[in-house]
Structure 1
Amino acid sequence: MSNNQLSVYQSFAFGELTQQDVVTIRETIGKQCDESQFKLFMSIAKAAGANPVMNEIYPTVRQNQLTVQFGVDFFVRKAKESDGYKGYDVQLVHENDEFKMHQEKAEDGSYFVVIDEHSWGFPRGKVIGGYCIAYKEGFNPFTVVMEVEEVEHFKRSQIGMQKTMWTNYFNDMFKKHMTRRALKAAFNLNFDDETVENNGGDNIPEYQPQQRERKDITPQQDTIQEPQQQEPEVIDPEVDKIKQARKDMSSKFKQLGITTKQGMSDYIAKNAPNFGDNPSYSDIVGLLSYMDMDIEMQEANATDDDSLE
């Protein structure tokens, strides 16, 4: 790879991830990506602070679609960095195990799961379920309990190596899945896998806000239909792209209900720790992609709440 090609990836280095590491990622786990898919993947990784070398995030491509997936190691690290982290315990339940649990009601009216008994001998039989308990100081343990039927669909997945991994290493994948869900909920780690369309080209794709029908969406007309300039002016395309991307950020903060400068700063510090005071266009694209995932999660939670009424 020439020095010119190497310099292309300079902006994607962050933390302990060097420019040469980015090249290695491109030639290994990113080899299925085209150039714009890879740059978008690295933008999302940089915004989240997820290191591909440490298996914290990785891309898969199928039918020209890029799917960005966060690994369980990323959730474990982010949980350890959170206040009050006291570890977690994940176990599989086999058909011959003795397993009992119940729910208790906390003082605030919420319920939490208590494992009364889980003992076993050999042979244990096939796996029928499992659980993961996340411990956080000052809070009741948060437990995810699942039956095997809830994850069987992963064996039929069409995403990259997911089907192979769930078929050949089911027990490990099941434990990782429960761990991810438990830590994500207990420590409010709002990171989700995302599938994005490939628009081709050699540059980072222009950020396109996800289109969803919603009553409270912020109109975009003010940012799109700007007054025509009477006199032609020379505009730096990169500066213009960053300006528009910042407007998209402002709109998405409103959708997330974050309206104060401090709230915005806290959000960026938590979810894009490498953002900095003068972020590049790729940095902003990564954050916007994450904000879209966060908005989707809010909407999904709101829909779930409505269905319970």
Structure 2
Amino acid sequence: MANKSTQIQEVPEVNIHQLQAIGEFGLPEIMTMKETLGKKLTIPQFNLFMYQMKRMGLDPSLKHAFPIPYGETIDIRIAYEGYHAKAQESEGYEGVYNQVICENETDDFEAETDDEGIIVSVKHKIKFPRGKAVGAYSIAKREGKKNVIILMDASEVQKWVKKNPNFWKLDDGSIDPDMFKKHVGIRAIKAQYDIAAVVEESMESMNVGSSIPAYESTGRKDVTPAPEKLKSPDTGQEDESAARIKALKAQVKTNYKKLGISSPEAIDEHAGEFFKVRGNSPTEAEIKAYLKIMEMQIQEKQAADQATDSLPE
């Protein structure tokens, strides 16, 4: 009897009733997902996550997406399986083909580009033993459209390898080919298929009970305010809101330095992944959301640096 009582306390009846049957998922399926992928979420966070899944047409039980809790907010991450599912629903879908290039295959690999430097074809001969993955490419095909071919060198994913080694590294320390193929595949899918409006708008950190937007990945917006937008038309002075935005953007630049991000290309890539701007220029809330992400990354970087410094020589 004591064990039964303990089980009832762990899953209070009121919490079960707070779960919502959303879309095609009934309460049994919802309960299963709550106790697995949503185990660390509150009931409101989980309900919000499932609502967003329905809105985007994604199925978390098929690993299309997963939630990451940050206090009262949740960060919804769309996986390769989610992007690929949306691509398959797109008109003219003809397939997405992902492959890694290994160290014993580089002599027989060729990528042809057009006059603008866009990759138009690849020639790849697979050899065994293949060796470690040193690159990857994806070909996204669509009827009536040119093939989109994305090619990446292993050096381009090192920041993710360092940040999430448990996901990116094999036991021997080399890059996991499956992770590499999924990463380059997402880039090709985004470039070929018109799914940004369906998926990207919901890849944001959500504050339960708040309407303040956080961030989405839709590409970099200029973080340097235009002078004419900082002036009040009546007084010619900076108004309070513009002054705050100016200060926030200065902090963004400082955080880039703390993260070791200096080149325009690296800034574009970081902002493209983490900075969401809905309009022509970033709002105060959008910049603050970006800063929160940067601050977490700075803390992770500092912790990693301290761990490295503490290693014996």
**Fold match, TM over 0.5?**
yes
Distance 1:119 1:184 in 2: 27
CA distance in 2, matches of 1:131, 1:296: 30
Preserved contact between residue 214 and residue 276 of structure 2 (Cα < 8 Å): no
The residue aligned with 2:185 is: 179
* TM-score between both structures, scaled by the size of structure 2: 0.58
Name 2:141's counterpart in structure 1. 135
Cross-structure match for 1:29? 37
Query: Cα distance, 1:29 vs. partner?
Result: 0.8
> 2-side partners of 1:299 and 1:181: how far apart?
24
Letter in 2 for 1:165: F
Which of 196, 202, 210 pairs up with 2:205? 196
Unaligned runs of 5+ in 2: 1-10, 216-220, 230-273, 283-313
Distance change >3 Å, CA 78–CA 298, structure 1 → 2: farther
Matched residue type, 1:167: K
Deviation at 1:156, TM superposition (A): 2.5
Q: Which moved more, 1:59-68 or 1:118-127?
A: 59-68
The answer as to 2:154 corresponding to 1:148 is: yes
**Do the aligned residues in 2 keep the contact of 1:90 with 1:132 (CA within 8 Å)?**
yes
Over the aligned positions, Cα root-mean-square deviation in angstroms equals 3.3
Structure 2 vs 1, CA of residues 81 and 297 (structure 1 numbering), >3 Å: closer, same or farther?
farther
| Cα distance in 1, alignment partners of residues 142 and 78 from structure 2 | 22
Change (3 A) 1:163 1:44: farther
Tell me the SS of whatever aligns to 1:91.
strand
Q: Which amino acid aligns with 2:86?
A: K
Of 2, 12, 15 in structure 2, the residue corresponding to residue 5 of structure 1 is 15
TM-score (ref. length: structure 1):
0.59
Q: Secondary structure at the match of 2:67?
A: strand
Distance 1:28 1:44 in 2: 18
Paired residue secondary structure (1:209): coil
Whether contact under 8 Å (1:112, 1:140) holds in the other structure is no
Q: Closer, same or farther in 2 for the Cα pair 1:126/1:296, shift >3 Å?
A: farther
Deviation, 1:164, is 1.3
Contact 1:112 1:141 in 2 (8 A): no
Matches for 1:70-81 after TM superposition, within 5 Å:
70-81=78-89
Q: After the TM superposition, which residues 102-121 of structure 1 pair with which residues of structure 2 at under 5 Å, given as runs?
A: 102-104=112-114, 112-121=118-127
1: CA distance, partners of 2:92 / 2:28: 36
CA positional deviation for 1:59:
1.1
Partner residue in 2 for 1:87: 95
- 2:209 is the counterpart of 1:209: no
Give how far 1:185 is off. 1.5
Residue 131 of structure 1 deviates from its aligned partner by: 0.4
Partner of 1:165: 167
Aligned length: 211
- Give the 3-state SS of the residue equivalent to 2:114 in structure 1: strand
Select the residue among 35, 48, 59 that pairs with 1:40.
48
Residue 126 of structure 1: how far off its partner (Å): 1.7
Q: State whether residues 95 and 126 of structure 1, in contact with CA within 8 Å, keep that contact through their aligned partners in structure 2.
A: yes
Equivalent position of 2:233 in the other structure: none
3-state SS of paired residue (1:122): coil
- 1:53 counterpart residue number: 61
Verify the 8 A CA contact 1:90 1:130 in the aligned structure 2. Answer: yes
State the alpha-carbon separation in 1 of the partners of residues 132 and 180 from structure 2. Answer: 13
Q: Summarize deviations over 1:106-162 as a string: whole Å, max 9, x none.
A: xxxx764233421132222221111000000011101111111111111222xxxx4
Q: Which whole-Å CA distance do the structure 1 matches of 2:122 and 2:33 have between them? A: 45
